[in-house]
Structure 1
Amino acid sequence: MVILFSAKVAEKHQQVLEGAYPKVQFHFCEGTLEASEYLNKATVYVTYGDDVDEELINQAPNLQWISVLSAGVERLPFELIKERGIRVTNSRGIHKVQMAEYTISMLLQVYRQEKYLMKNEQQNSWDKSLRMKEITGQTMVVLGTGAIGQEIARLAKAFRMKTIGVSRSGRAVEFFDETHTIANLKEVLPEADFLVSVLPSTSETKYLLTEEHFTFMKNSAVFLNIGRGDLVASETLLKAIKEGQLAHVVLDVFEEEPLPADHPFWQEEQVTITPHISGQSPNYMVRALAIFQDNLDKLISGDQDFINLIDPTRGY
């Protein structure tokens, strides 16, 4: 078995894998160019997902499994993958701790006026006129009730928030007081003090939010997106802010990344921008490789019950 990594992995992790699987031939590369030398022999391709296209798959006739060390798989050529019968797994679930912490920290940042406090500190300005608010007791609507959404809701409960989950199925999930289907989203939006999206990018979620959705919301509401940038058009968000339909927007994901330096978002006081880092953690690779190893054990043993197996028809 030949396992090819295009995802950069620290030497200490390489040594652990080689020691645990002495009969497996590993090739640890940094990027597609270096990895291309071994594609024709690779049984397993380990990647962050952004380098997999039809050309790469066609160069790998022995490929059985693509292991993505991130959650995002929207760029993969699923028609060819389905045709070839190649398994795809991702690392969803490993981001829940850090992304939930990010969410709460950003909501506190907005309500406790931290942007302005830091600005005043830099300008030596003793300004006690800032109006602070409390996130405790507010209502949070979370788009996406998987591992990340559940952890966000769990932390929200520490602040005694009402938590409403919205998902494709609308099934009941722990830590949510209510759950609804996406089809009923407009019915719950008026309750939201905080609207948080952790949705992936799929055919069902692309540009799901429209101008109309924001007209249903309180003008004091905060919208936070840590899912994917194509959930809502940038122009729609800018209009909602400029027309006072939202009080603040926190964005970690964008339609175009990196966000261009001349993008209007940078100039908006009521927009907080972070460079797609809500999933960063010193424990990221350890968690991702734990899932990879569990699935590798299944591949070796013939077990078909892979963790985080992606349905190529749905793309998630």
Structure 2
Amino acid sequence: MMVKALFTYNYGKEKMKKIKDLGYEIVYIKERELYYNEEIKDIEVLVCYNPFNSLDITKLNKLKWIQLSSIGIDQVPKQYLLEKQILLTNNKGGYSIPMGEWVVLKILEMLKKSKNFYKKQDNKLWKIDTSIIELYGKTIGFIGTGSIAYESAKRLTGFEVNIYGLNTTGRSVEYFDKCFSTSEFDYFLSLCDILVLTIPYTEKTHHLLNESNFKIMKDGVYIVNVSRGSIINEADLIKYLKNGKIKFAALDVFENEPLNENNPLWDLDNVIITPHNSWVSEMRNERRYNVIYENMKRYINGEKLINIVDLKKGY
């Protein structure tokens, strides 16, 4: 008997046929056009990003598994999935390479003052800046040592820097010179010239960075955030950017997105703002599909899926 699956994105005729050939009946409805109807009432699998505002999944009585195209799971009704024991998998690792490249780019842009040079170019101003600093020898700390941090660290090794990581137990991770446990958080922060946030957002990581630990950091620390905006207390961040304790911040994520035009971050010279764009590359759909296909194959064969989300932990 065929397994019925609902897709909210069309990966192309050939790729969709490969999934059908595994033993699936596929229904395709664009996410923005998706609502509950008779055609989808008996689906067992949902492959999507975020249809949860318009689609009431409590009506999908046969739903057993949701495969997300995203890494983050903020959009998912987690409590309902827990109650109904619906399996959730995500696209962990699918965006790690472009995000790793992005982290390296933003670190260099901050240290080499690219933002200032772009402004000078716009104004046709030829003026040398002698305050540029090297990346060589700096200590870069990653809060979180998952796939994004891994790909970032891998690319940073050639710069002859010290690469430190923070994870739950302090377990060793390839490309990291040393890893610290969360019990050593304050000490870890005090060591970093550059701090990179790559951890998932959960209740425990809400405003993980705030005034109390900004005070612990080195004077003139640099910060890169590619995880979630709410991991940093934005008001405290702005305060410490203004007083110079934080030298520069490259922010791809924010507490509220899109970023309001009246937000003070727009007006700070020591901030690089990008619109949650670090995950984008020409390979994104191919990598998404590869994860989806692998899991669809495993599911139909009764095998354990990859990228299973622990709903209690939130990642």
Q: Take 2:125 and 2:46, find their aligned partners in 1: how far apart are those partners?
A: 55
Letter in 2 for 1:266: W
Letter in 2 for 1:46: V
1:19-34 equivalence runs, <5 A: 19-22=18-21, 23-31=23-31, 33-34=33-34
Q: Which residue pairs with 2:66 in the alignment?
A: 66
1:231-310 equivalence runs, <5 A: 231-303=231-303, 305-310=304-309
Confirm whether residue 87 of structure 1 aligns to residue 87 of structure 2.
yes
In 2 relative to 1, CA 296–20 (structure 1 residues): closer, same or farther, beyond 3 Å?
closer
Is the contact between residue 207 and residue 232 of structure 1 (CA under 8 Å) also seen in structure 2?
A: yes
Task: Give the deviation of 1:9 after TM superposition.
Answer: 3.0
In the TM superposition, what whole-angstrom CA distance separates every residue of 1:192-233 from its partner, at most 9, and x where no partner exists? Answer: 111000111112211111201111112221011000111011
Q: Take 2:168 and 2:115, find their aligned partners in 1: how far apart are those partners?
A: 35
Letter in 2 for 1:119: K
Percent sequence identity is: 28
Task: Give the deviation of 1:165 after TM superposition.
Answer: 0.3
TM-score by length of 2: 0.94
Task: Give the deviation of 1:36 after TM superposition.
Answer: 2.9
Letter in 1 for 2:48: T
Q: Take 2:53 and 2:65, find their aligned partners in 1: how far apart are those partners?
A: 14
In 2 relative to 1, CA 41–15 (structure 1 residues): closer, same or farther, beyond 3 Å?
farther
1:187-206 equivalence runs, <5 A: 187-206=187-206
Task: Give the deviation of 1:39 after TM superposition.
Answer: 3.2
Q: Which residue pairs with 1:138 in the alignment?
A: 138
Q: Take 2:221 and 2:34, find their aligned partners in 1: how far apart are those partners?
A: 47
In 2 relative to 1, CA 87–53 (structure 1 residues): closer, same or farther, beyond 3 Å?
farther
Confirm whether residue 45 of structure 1 aligns to residue 46 of structure 2.
yes
In the alignment, structure 1 segments of 5+ residues that lack a partner are: none
Q: Take 2:57 and 2:72, find their aligned partners in 1: how far apart are those partners?
A: 18
In 2 relative to 1, CA 139–63 (structure 1 residues): closer, same or farther, beyond 3 Å?
same
Aligned-residue CA RMSD (Å): 1.6
Is the contact between residue 2 and residue 24 of structure 1 (CA under 8 Å) also seen in structure 2?
A: yes
1:215-230 equivalence runs, <5 A: 215-230=215-230
Q: Take 1:257 and 1:265, find their aligned partners in 2: how far apart are those partners?
A: 13
In the TM superposition, what whole-angstrom CA distance separates every residue of 1:125-158 from its partner, at most 9, and x where no partner exists? Answer: 1101342111122100001101111111111111
Q: Take 2:40 and 2:209, find their aligned partners in 1: how far apart are those partners?
A: 40
Q: Which residue pairs with 1:119 in the alignment?
A: 119
Number of residue pairs aligned between Structure 1 and Structure 2:
311
Is the contact between residue 54 and residue 77 of structure 1 (CA under 8 Å) also seen in structure 2?
A: no
Aligned partner of residue 41 in structure 1, secondary structure: coil
1:171-190 equivalence runs, <5 A: 171-190=171-190
In 2 relative to 1, CA 308–193 (structure 1 residues): closer, same or farther, beyond 3 Å?
same
Q: Take 2:97 and 2:291, find their aligned partners in 1: how far apart are those partners?
A: 16
In 2 relative to 1, CA 120–298 (structure 1 residues): closer, same or farther, beyond 3 Å?
same
- Runs of at least 4 residues off by over 4 Å: none
Range with greater deviation from structure 2 (267-276 or 132-141): 132-141
Is the contact between residue 165 and residue 178 of structure 1 (CA under 8 Å) also seen in structure 2?
A: yes
Is the contact between residue 169 and residue 181 of structure 1 (CA under 8 Å) also seen in structure 2?
A: yes
Q: Take 1:310 and 1:299, find their aligned partners in 2: how far apart are those partners?
A: 15
Range with greater deviation from structure 2 (55-64 or 306-315): 55-64
Is the contact between residue 163 and residue 178 of structure 1 (CA under 8 Å) also seen in structure 2?
A: yes
Task: Give the deviation of 1:74 after TM superposition.
Answer: 2.3
Is the contact between residue 39 and residue 59 of structure 1 (CA under 8 Å) also seen in structure 2?
A: no
Is the contact between residue 34 and residue 51 of structure 2 (CA under 8 Å) also seen in structure 1?
A: no
Task: Give the deviation of 1:301 after TM superposition.
Answer: 0.8
Task: Give the deviation of 1:297 after TM superposition.
Answer: 1.0
Q: Take 1:108 and 1:261, find their aligned partners in 2: how far apart are those partners?
A: 26
In 2 relative to 1, CA 39–183 (structure 1 residues): closer, same or farther, beyond 3 Å?
farther
Q: Take 1:35 and 1:45, find their aligned partners in 2: how far apart are those partners?
A: 13
Range with greater deviation from structure 2 (221-230 or 28-37): 28-37
Confirm whether residue 16 of structure 1 aligns to residue 18 of structure 2.
no
